[in-house]
Amino acid sequence: MQESPPDQQIWHTKLHIRHRACQNIAGTARHVVAYPNPAATVAPVDLTDSYTRVLPAHIRDRYEFIETRNAAAILSATNPQRFDELLTALHEFQLRTDDLVQPGGQETELAARLNTAFRNKGWREARVDTRIRLELRKMPHKPAGESHPTLEDTEVFNEGYKVDNFVDRLALDVEWNAKDGNLDRDLSAYRALYDAALIDVAVIITRTQTDLRTLGYRLGIEAGMDDERARRILATTTTTNTEKLRPRMQRGDSGGCPLLAVAICARTWADQAGVAPVQPGLPAGVEAVRRVGDGVGYLFLFNHTDRAARLTASGTDLLTGTAHAEPWELPAGAVAVLREDTAA
């Protein structure tokens, strides 16, 4: 998450929660103020796929998505104006070669471009502070001559986390290449905001790992880097990306808040450079190469990830003899060679 400039307007939303306590006021205050402990979440959360129905194809082809609680459908239905602004920002965003190969540019300049796109549409950086007022009401003891209750007030203030962009019950953060601990902070903030009825849905814009690192290495070599330096591009394992975000979403770290994760991937760069994807809609980490001869197309598919990839490419796999027409899965680390009836 980017630090705001000194003159950046911060929206402070103060939550006033009245709570009566007869004992252990300080302990109660600490319990109420604290953000939820993600480790305390027991039930896993199923990932949903409403984004496949509400996001246009040209957006799905350029980014990867992870979603809980049908976040995309909720956002499009409850706030169509801001949903369209999100789509516009994603459509206009360009992943540049410098974003991957220039030192220092990997973390800040890209996020600044995205944040500026939202701020120009009225979104603002925000922080939610929690102010809790505790009331201890002592009942009168008539034999002692007391006729009215006495009231003691205690107020506890907790400064909250900043959200990169906040507007109309929607929170959005850009986590391009920051420390992965930012994800814990973000999801805890979404959980608190949702429980306080301040937002309906949250969005995180982050990145994939395997395919972008492969792309970064290739672009680094083309830019004249030596092998060792090129291999260091996006090589840090403790930065924000979908491999870090997915398990946090699945274990329910954002509580009941619907969350949509948008991941910048290698296809984002390819589209910006004017190179059409060989096979649109491929999951991150799956590489496609097409060769054509005598009017027949051959689609080579390589799954570079450690999990099965769901694909929609059709044709007969020359390695197994299986004919694929409906969605199917390519196992982790596997290769498929599809014979297409007509050249694509």
Task: Choose among 12, 137, 168, 158: nearest CA to 75.
Answer: 168
Q: Are both 315 and 225 inside the same structural domain? A: no
* Two tokens, residue 56: 């246009």
Reported confidence tier of residue 303, pLDDT bands at 50, 70, 90: confident
Q: Are both 257 and 312 inside the same structural domain? A: no
Residue 140 scores a pLDDT above 50 = yes
pLDDT of residue 286: 82
Mean confidence (pLDDT) of the chain? 83
Q: Are both 155 and 296 inside the same structural domain? A: no
Residue 281 belongs to a domain = no
Q: Are both 144 and 217 inside the same structural domain? A: yes
Residue 7 scores a pLDDT above 70 = no
For residues 212 and 20, which has the higher predicted lDDT (pLDDT)?
212
Burial of 210 (0-12, 13-18, 19+ CB in 10 A): buried
Q: Which residue has the tokens 């007509």?
A: 342
Task: Choose among 198, 207, 185, 195: nearest CA to 253.
Answer: 185
Q: Are both 264 and 175 inside the same structural domain? A: yes
* Two tokens, residue 31: 């319990």
Question: What's the CATH number where 316 sits?
Answer: 2.60.40.1180
Question: What's the CATH number where 264 sits?
Answer: 3.40.91.20
Q: CA-to-CA distance for 337 and 334, rounded, in angstroms?
A: 10
Q: Are both 189 and 234 inside the same structural domain? A: yes
Q: Write the single-letter amino acid at 240.
A: T
Reported confidence tier of residue 275, pLDDT bands at 50, 70, 90: low
Q: Are both 291 and 268 inside the same structural domain? A: no
The domain tally of the chain equals: 2
pLDDT of residue 271: 55
Q: Are both 164 and 125 inside the same structural domain? A: yes
- In the predicted model, what is the mean pLDDT of residues 53-59? 91
Residue 35 scores a pLDDT above 50 = no
Q: CA-to-CA distance for 174 and 164, rounded, in angstroms?
A: 7
Residue 30 scores a pLDDT above 60 = no
Q: CA-to-CA distance for 125 and 165, rounded, in angstroms?
A: 5
User: What's the pTM?
Assistant: 0.67
Q: Are both 263 and 292 inside the same structural domain? A: no
Q: Which of 272, 296, 325 is the last residue of a domain?
A: 272
pLDDT of residue 4: 44
What range defines the domain where residue 220 resides?
Answer: 11-272
pLDDT of residue 102: 77
Q: Are both 233 and 166 inside the same structural domain? A: yes
For residues 316 and 325, which has the higher predicted lDDT (pLDDT)?
316
Residues 6+ apart with CB under 8 A from 196: 15, 128
pLDDT of residue 136: 94
- Pick from 143-147, 179-183, 292-296, 325-329: least confident: 292-296
Residue 85 belongs to a domain = yes
Q: Which of 250, 272, 294 is the last residue of a domain?
A: 272
For the beta carbon of residue 311, count every other beta carbon within 10 angstroms: 22
Q: Are both 263 and 331 inside the same structural domain? A: no
- In the predicted model, what is the mean pLDDT of residues 142-169? 93
Residue 1 belongs to a domain = no
